[in-house]
Amino acid sequence: MKSPASTSAARDAVDLSAFTTLRLGGPARHFVVAATGQSCVDAIRAVDAVGEPLLLLAGGSNLVIGDGGFDGTAVLMNSTGFEIDDGGVLHAAAGQDWDAVVARTVAAGYGGLECLSGIPGSVGATPVQNVGAYGVELSDLLRDVDLYDRRLGAVRTVPASELELGYRTSALKGTDAAVVLSIRLELRRDGLSGPIRFPELARALNVDLGARVPAALVRAAVLNLRRVKGMVLDAADHDTWSAGSFFTNPLFDAVQAAAVLERVRARVGPKVAVPQYPGGAGRTKLSAAWLIERAGFARGHPGPGGRVALSGKHTLALTNRGDADTEDLLVLAREIRDGVASCFGVTLAPEPVLINCSL
């Protein structure tokens, strides 16, 4: 029986830092490039046949890999291609660059994805994370996904309603039992955005909340807002050498939210305006960035030896300043997590997937 390393497009001991936006992580014992959905399925079946651990890679934007790397086979999903059918449904392969898809839909006169502009990574990762920005989440548009079910050894089409999509999570997150091969999204055929829900974006567009705006205008505004925060990838800008937002915005029910707000105001001031947003199902979402800043961590706050730091543009991004290792990043993440917990009794949860490392 062939080992995964002996299949086509396979290599040994490949440094994984080149495949993450943080540019961090040790080597994979075996590494396979899958150029199509079928070759991805074939590679996974080969891995499973010999009992190897599996790590799926694509854009690498929501991933922290330990310095020890990965003692198994990493499969790089490099499948590309997307199209919009006559009904305004977008079909996209898992390995396709996400922002290229968003740009093409807007240029073709379709709305729906414009608020998700500039998010790094691949199409296949979007339902796993239920990516979202500026008041829109993928779950607002996702119809279904094609995935390879490793337990059944079969490709299945699964409707969005069965994916347990929630705030930055899904039934696919934290498990490698199923692998997304392609997705389908229902776009807006009138070329307009959905109702603008996020105050910062409404101000940038000079419109009222709830207004619908040409998708191209919203995309331009979102990209500008993300660039200001260092959230659009730029190899020359170390503020973008990150995994995006490192911590999720915490969610609380009404009782929990009241207690947290009381603690925050007792420390920061009784009249302080604490940013709050609807979190769905009667919950309140607080801004992790705001809590981090009020706990004393300013933009640019350094980690060990200055090799890592909070972004100089946005306190939710932990950045590699060029010569860091993963443990440097984790030390900084622990300092921030523990500092916010000490000040406000709120334990921030990491958003990226952690491989062979932990907080």
Read off the tokens for 183.
């997705």
Residues making up the chain, counted from first to last: 359
Read off the tokens for 318.
């932990």
Q: Which residues contact 199 (CB under 8 A, 6 or more apart)?
A: 209
Read off the tokens for 276.
């709050």
Contact 64, 243 (CB under 8 A): yes
Q: 3-state SS string over the chain?
A: CCCHHHCCCEEEEEEHHHHCCCCCCCEEEEEEEECCHHHHHHHHHHHHHCCCCEEEECCCCCEEECCCCEEEEEEEECCCCEEECCCCEEEEECCCEHHHHHHHHHHCCCECCHHHCCCCCECCHHHHHCCEECCEEHHHCEEEEEEEECCCCEEEEEEHHHCCCECCECCCCCCCCEEEEEEEEECECCCECCCCCCHHHHHHHCCCCCCCCEHHHHHHHHHHHHHHCCCCCCCCCHHHCECCCCECCCEECHHHHHHHHHHHHHHHCCCCCCCEEEEECCEEEECHHHHHHHCCCCCCCECHHHCEEECCCCCCCEEECCCCCHHHHHHHHHHHHHHHHHHHCCCCCECCEEECCCC
Dist CA 194 CA 140 (whole Å) = 10
Q: Is 127 left (phi over 0), alpha (psi -120 to 50) or beta?
A: alpha
Q: What is the set of active-site residues?
A: 168, 245, 351
